[in-house]
């Protein structure tokens, strides 16, 4: 049988640390929402950055992507990120145009 | 005898090594998750597009909703911790703790679903529908909200069933059927969940087909692959929570 533990190598303490970091980042997001000091577009950008950090922690530690071989890690990361980048370029630039110029 | 062993060895060596240096089930699950992330990505972009391009986008989520969604987030994050502990226990070959951690994960997942169903019920009671809402003239809000969160709720429910099959195997089938019957008879007939609960029945039928046609003792690899699915469901919520709830707060 494939020996998963030999590949992963993280300890229970590491997982607890990641869990705590995820809860902390969630608390930061909730505080930002309650304070409402940022405009919607800026708020969206800040929340997206925090979400990407949380997603990175989950994929790297909980899903053990950082323990996989570099070929698998990079192929998955680049392909999915590339697709999202394309969506970002098309959707958000257009949404920003509507917001700035109005619907024509 | 020596000839037979030699032949088997040769056959084994004829297979190419895995492209990604790991077992095929895990690669298959990663590929599925990559494609599923694009599905959720499209839904999230659709919601966010509507949110920032419509100044009149409704902000119906008050303190109660945000507190509820924060508890739901904590449930999913905690479920990810218990899931990874289940994988650790599986690697040690500690079957009782694998089952315990998987049941804990299922508990958090079920709690998430119940809290989410309550949130939906509240919004529907406020006259929010997929094509309209009482707070603004932006009909897209209901459609994008229900599609996105409904899709995620379906994924969580499927995840709980998946983990139940891994943890309890055939013993999980009667549990699932009892939950379905209770859900069907206890929810009001005009509730969307009176019909939505049939997901459990479909899940029971599919689980039964898998369990009876291919009975097996699930090993550490199976637990790890189910964990990948579960963490993905958690990961998606890390985007839905801020983009849907925190971007539409009324505090």
pLDDT tens by residue, B154-212? 999 999 999 999 999 999 999 999 999 999 999 988 888 999 999 999 999 999 999 99
Say yes or no: domain B24-248 is CATH 1.20.120.80. Answer: yes
Same domain, residue pair A47 and A21:
yes
Task: State residue A104's pLDDT score.
Answer: 52
User: In chain B, which residues have their Cβ closer than 8 Å to the Cβ of A12?
Assistant: 85, 88
Greatest distance between any 2 Cα atoms in chain B? 79
Identify the residue with better confidence: B248 or B162: B162
Among candidate residues A76, A39, A48, the one with its CA nearest the CA of residue B239 = A48
Give the list of residues 6+ apart from residue A38 with CB closer than 8 angstroms, or none.
A32, A46
Same domain, residue pair A64 and A76:
no
The model's confidence at residue B4, banded by pLDDT at 50, 70 and 90, is very low
Residues 11-50 of A with CB under 8 A from B: 12, 15-16, 19, 22-23, 26, 29-30, 32-34, 36, 40-41, 43-44, 47-48, 50
Helix (H) or strand (E) holding B222: helix B220-240
Tally A–B CB contacts below 8 A.
155
Task: State residue B214's pLDDT score.
Answer: 87
Provide the domain limits for residue A23.
1-68
List the single residue in A33, A62, A84 with the smallest CB-CB distance to B231.
Answer: A62
DSSP state of B17: P
Q: Which residues pair with B215 in a beta bridge?
A: none
B180: number of CA atoms within 13 Å, CB side?
A: 18
Same domain, residue pair A4 and A55:
yes
**Average pLDDT rounded to a whole number, residues B87-95:** 94
- Please state the pTM of the whole predicted model: 0.89
Instruction: Give the count of domains, chain A.
Output: 2
Q: Select the highest-mean-pLDDT range: A90-104, B7-21, B199-213.
A: B199-213
Same domain, residue pair A55 and A77:
no
Same domain, residue pair A94 and A78:
yes
Q: Measured between CB atoms, does B164 come within 8 Å of chain A? A: no
- Classify B149 in phi/psi space as left (phi over 0), alpha (psi -120 to 50) or beta: alpha
**Average pLDDT rounded to a whole number, residues B23-49:** 91
| Count of H-run helices and E-run strands, chain B | 9, 0
| Count of H-run helices and E-run strands, chain A | 4, 0
Same domain, residue pair A59 and A77:
no
Cβ of A2 within 8 Å of Cβ of B23? The answer is yes
ipTM, interface predicted TM-score of the complex: 0.86
Same domain, residue pair A8 and A44:
yes
Same domain, residue pair A98 and A83:
yes
């Amino acid at each position: 049988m494939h020996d998963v533990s030999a590949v992963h190598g993280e300890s229970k303490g590491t997982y607890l640390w990641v869990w705590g970091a995820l809860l902390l980042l969630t608390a930061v997001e909730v505080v930002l929402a309650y304070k409402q000091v940022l405009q919607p577009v800026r708020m969206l950008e800040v929340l997206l950055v925090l979400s990407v950090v949380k997603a990175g922690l989950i994929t790297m530690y909980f899903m053990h992507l950082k323990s996989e071989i570099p070929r698998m890690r990079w192929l998955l990361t680049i392909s999915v990120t590339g697709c999202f980048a394309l969506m970002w370029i098309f959707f958000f630039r257009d949404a920003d145009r509507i917001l700035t110029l109005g619907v024509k | 005898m020596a000839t037979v062993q030699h032949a088997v060895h040769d056959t084994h060596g004829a297979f190419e090594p895995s492209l990604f240096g790991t077992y095929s089930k895990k690669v298959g699950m990663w590929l599925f998750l990559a494609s599923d992330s694009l599905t959720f990505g499209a839904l999230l972009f659709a919601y966010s597009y509507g949110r920032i391009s419509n100044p009149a986008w409704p902000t119906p989520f008050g303190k109660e909703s945000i507190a509820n969604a924060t508890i739901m987030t904590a449930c999913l994050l905690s479920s990810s911790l218990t899931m990874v502990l289940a994988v650790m226990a599986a690697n040690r070959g500690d079957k009782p703790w694998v089952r315990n951690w998987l049941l804990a994960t299922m508990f958090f997942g079920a709690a998430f679903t119940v809290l989410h169903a309550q949130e939906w019920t509240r919004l529907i009671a406020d006259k929010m529908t997929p094509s309209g809402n009482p707070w603004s003239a932006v009909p897209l809000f209901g459609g994008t909200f229900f599609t996105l969160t409904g899709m995620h709720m379906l994924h969580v429910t499927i995840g709980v069933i998946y983990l139940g099959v891994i943890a309890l195997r055939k013993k999980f089938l009667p549990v699932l059927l009892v939950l379905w019957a209770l859900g069907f008879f206890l929810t009001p007939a005009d509730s969307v969940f009176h019909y939505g609960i049939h997901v459990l029945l479909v899940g029971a039928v599919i689980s039964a087909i898998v369990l009876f046609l291919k009975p097996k003792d699930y090993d550490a690899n199976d637990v790890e692959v189910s964990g990948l699915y579960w963490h993905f469901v958690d990961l998606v919520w890390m985007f839905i929570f801020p983009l849907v709830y925190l971007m539409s707060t009324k505090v």
